[in-house]
Amino acid sequence: MKPVLIFCLALWVMAATSAQAQPPRYTASADGQEVTDSQTGLIWRRCAEGMNWDGSTCAGAATPFTHEAALQRATAQAASSGKAWRLPNVKELSSIVDKSRSYPAIDPTAFPATPSSLFGRPRPALATPTTPGASISAMATSASPPAAAAIPLRCG
C-alpha cells in the first residue's frame, strides 16, 4: 500500500511542478506600461490609446481614431518614444483575444480597464460601405464599424 501512495504523491508533485513551470502569457515591462506576449513575441501597450498607466491600472478614457488618425498616432508615438510602434494587423490583434472571456474578451491583468465597447483596428474608408473590411473587434463582438468610423485603438 505504501508504494502506491508514494507513487501517487510523486505524480502529484510532478504535475504541480510542471504546471508551475509554465511561464505567464504576458510579462509586464519594468515601468508596467507594456506587456510582452510570450506566445507571439509582440509587445503591446497595456492601455488603450488615450488612457494612461497609473502604476496599477489604466486610467482615463479611450480615444477613438479613424484609420488615418490611427496611422498618424502610431507614427507620432514611434517618433517620440524611439520604439517601433505601429498598428497591429488583424492576425496580431486577434492573438490577444481571450475566448474564455467576453466584453471585453481580453486578459484583464495584462490589459486592465479595457473598454468593453467595440474595439479594434480601424479600417480605411472603402469605396462601398457594404464591402466587407478587414476590421476586427478584439472584444468578441461581430459588429464591424462603418468604414470611416472612429473606434478605440491599441498599439502593438
pTM of the model: 0.66
pLDDT digits (tens, 9 = 90+) for 67-92: 899 899 999 999 999 999 998 888 99
Torsion angle, alpha carbons of 141, 109, 36, 88, to 10: 20
Q: Distances from the Cα of 135 to the Cαs of 17, 91, 125, 127, 156, in angstroms?
A: 41, 11, 11, 15, 16
Residue pair 71/121 in contact (Cβ under 8 Å)? The answer is no
What is the reported pLDDT for 100? 94
CB 154 within 8 A of CB 45: yes
User: In the chain, where are the structural domains located?
Assistant: 23-123+133-152
Average pLDDT over residues 99-108: 91
Q: What is the DSSP string of 25-71?
A: SEEE-TTSSEEEETTT--EEESS-TTEEE-SSSEEE-PPEE-HHHHH
